[in-house]
Amino acid sequence: MERMSSLDAVFLAVEDPVNHMNIGSVGIFEGPALSFETLRAFVAAKIQFVPRCRQRVRDASGFLGRPVWIDDVNFDLDEHLRYESLPSGGSSALEEFVGGLMARPLDRRHALWEMWLIDGLAEDRWAIVSKVHHCMVDGIAGTDLLTAIMDREPHAELMVPTVWTPSQEPTTIDFARFSAVSGLQSAMALVRRAVVALVHLHRSWERVHNVVVGAKRLWYPMRRGTTSLTGPIGPHPRWMRTRVRLDDVAAVRHVFGGTLNDVVVAAVTRAFRDLLLGRGEAVDDRTVTALVPVSLRAPDEQGRLGNRVADVHALLPLGTPDPISTLRMIHGHLADLKTSHEVEASGLLLRIGDFVPRVIADRLARAILHRQENVETVVTNVPGPRATLYLCGRPMVEAYPFGPIAGHVRITVAIWSYCDDLYFGVTGDRDAVGDIDRLVLGIDRGFTDLLNAASNAGN
């Protein structure tokens, strides 16, 4: 048994029939499509490197303990692998399939992941769609999971599956004993932290002050007019995708300075400006509040699953049509966020389950999800591998992320870098965001305008 972290438990607690906490990826491959039997043999051999993929969640008894991971004694690989042949090879057919797939909750009686082999794409291509519950991975851990499963060389030999014997299902007494010991260990850890805080009182007071300052920036109600970006959502997401060349992003950065992330956020800002203008909404002096996850994963934590993130709230300025002015404002604002202490404040809140009973932590998480009014969108940018990955010798030539929508946030923009490109997966509520294609086109135009400005500046 392994106790779930307090942050991982948050993603489990906030899931309901509308808010599905599924994240995923869509890999496009060249070469002859794999047979389902070949894919099954490949995954059967590789799954030994990701033990979590053969574990399920067991809920804690009572209100105090967090859920735990235990071996799924009835694990059956065929329950997690699926095949689908699309009736049309167009891009929209795959996007429709992904949106429908991610709308379905994962079965908590089993390991919380699925993998689909999708045939019938245009240009003799095919896809692997992976679906994982957010309590298992964050963006960085998802990348580590993908690189652990796939090969780094086209001619890697197929491994032989190992014999796996699951641990025996724990009895009620075993489970109660484990929960009690884990709870006692957590209490002792809190006592040790309190002692350290008292010994270093000045440093502790300084940290409390920083957290309060960061919390005020995060959650102090900001005045804004009525916006169509937030509101009730339904259980059916729509997903679309696009991509840009990393060399183009680097060219803009080379001319105007800043970071690659500054350029990406500036293009996304342009997209939201186009979206709201298309809806007839005012954008003068208007900002969009974007929740931006920040990885807290240390270098020695690479390869470990679970979530190690905090959040900041980035204000995307929509008021100016000039792409360079937007980029410069974004650069200054994101630099300011690094010293704002928002990461400390959000990290403390996301780990509130370390300090209070689970029933309180769960209710607080749900209340924040459903009642917060500051966040209007989520923009998550995750670095991926720069070298080509292979599946049974077939190269993955494109790789798009999927991020869920939840609460009152109707649009999520997920970004993943792979090889020489940046891949965007945009998720919107099917009923409330019928014009999600305008946002995707706006991302393309945002990069085009920035690249044109960089070219003109260099002439």
pLDDT in tens, 47-68: 988 899 999 999 875 545 788 9
Q: Single out the residue of 398, 418, 396, 391 nearest to residue 151, CA to CA.
A: 391
**Domain boundaries defined on the chain:** 2-149, 213-458
**161 burial via Cβ count (<10 Å: 0-12, 13-18, 19+):** middle
Q: What is the pTM of this model?
A: 0.91
Q: How confident is the model at residue 270 (pLDDT cuts 50, 70, 90)?
A: very high
Contact 150, 31 (CB under 8 A): no
State yes or no: pLDDT of 413 exceeds 80. Answer: yes
pLDDT in tens, 148-172: 788 999 888 877 888 889 998 888 8
pLDDT in tens, 194-203: 777 677 776 7
pLDDT value of position 358 = 78
For residues 96-119, b (16+ Cβ closer than 10 Å) or e, as one string? bbbbebbbebbebebbbbbbbbbb
pLDDT value of position 299 = 66
pLDDT value of position 221 = 56
Topology of 213-458 in CATH?
Answer: Chloramphenicol Acetyltransferase (3.30.559)
From 3.10.20.90, 3.30.420.270, 2.40.50.140, 3.30.559.10, which CATH number describes the 2-149 domain?
Answer: 3.30.559.10
Q: Which residue has the higher pLDDT, 289 or 140?
A: 289
State yes or no: pLDDT of 280 exceeds 90. Answer: yes
Say whether 202 is catalytic.
Answer: no
The CA distance from 423 to 94, in Å, is: 15
pLDDT in tens, 303-344: 666 777 778 889 999 999 999 999 999 999 998 888 887 777
Q: Single out the residue of 444, 445, 415 nearest to residue 427, CA to CA.
A: 415
User: Pairing between strand 126-133 and 113-119?
Assistant: antiparallel
pLDDT value of position 216 = 64
List 134, 313, 331, 341, catalytic entry: 134
